[in-house]
Amino acid sequence: MYVVVGSGSERTRSHLVQSRTGDGMSRKETYEEKTEAFLLPILEKHGFSLVDVEYVKEGGQYYLRAYIDKPGGITIDDCVDVSREMNEILDREDYVDGTYTFEVSSPGLGRPIRKERDFARNLDKEVEIKSYRAIDGEKEFLGLLRDYSKADVTIESEEGIRKICREDIALIREAIDLSSF
């Protein structure tokens, strides 16, 4: 689920998204960090949490997306409220160059676990891991996320405890139990 309540400036893009700013950060990273900083007080006011912010190009169009959540799940009305408040800030601050669309969305089923807060939120939950290469003859793993670091992820399954190097992980996400639907 996502909602679009407005689009960014109609100026022509004058640089590449991955170009570096003076502090060594890419514009993508800068846009995501600034958006996160502006979003957090809005989300806190509503009792929501921030799952992720991403600035991506898809099909020739740039998108600035915020993924939000709350216990019991996010509704379309929640997305609309946050989008309206954030669009006012985006218009006022005008820190994203070029034309883009701002979207607010629930994280959705099967969203990859990428950031520190994603791992923290999924501790002791069942996760699915797909690896780039076979590890002990397997490329897919299912288990409870027990620990994580920058170097590896530890899961517990019926087979026992398994530590998987993060460099070997192609995808890690919360396991989806379709029996509850």
Split the chain (181 residues) into runs of 10 and give each run's mean pLDDT: 45 34 74 97 96 93 95 94 98 96 90 87 95 95 97 96 96 84 59
3-class state of residue 26 by DSSP:
strand
Q: Give, in order, the Cα–Cα distances in Å from 63 to each of 17, 118, 124, 142, 178.
A: 11, 21, 32, 32, 30
Single-letter amino acid, residue 167 = E
Instruction: Please return the burial class of 110, using the count of CB atoms within 10 Å of its CB with bins 0-12, 13-18 and 19+.
Output: exposed
| Domains 2-105 and 116-180 are alike in CATH topology | no
Q: What torsion, rounded to 10 degrees, do the Cα atoms 107, 109, 110, 115 define?
A: 20
Q: Where are the beta strands (DSSP E) in the chain?
A: 2-7, 49-58, 61-69, 101-105, 126-135, 138-148, 152-157, 160-165, 169-174
Cβ neighbours of 174 (radius 10 Å): 19
What CA–CA distances, in Å, run from 167 to 94, 133, 146, 150? 37, 10, 18, 9
Q: Give the pTM.
A: 0.68
Q: Does domain 116-180 have CATH number 3.50.50.60?
A: no
Q: In the CATH hierarchy, which top-level class contains the domain 2-105? A: alpha beta
pLDDT at 18: 41
CA separation for the pair 23, 109 (Å, rounded): 35
Angle at 174 between CA 130 and CA 177, to 5 degrees: 105
**C-alpha–C-alpha distance, residues 65 and 52, integer Å:** 8
* CB contact at 8 A, 3 and 76: yes
Residue ranges of domains in the chain: 2-105, 116-180
Write the CA distances from 159 to 78, 122, 144, 148, 156, integer angstroms: 41, 20, 12, 19, 8
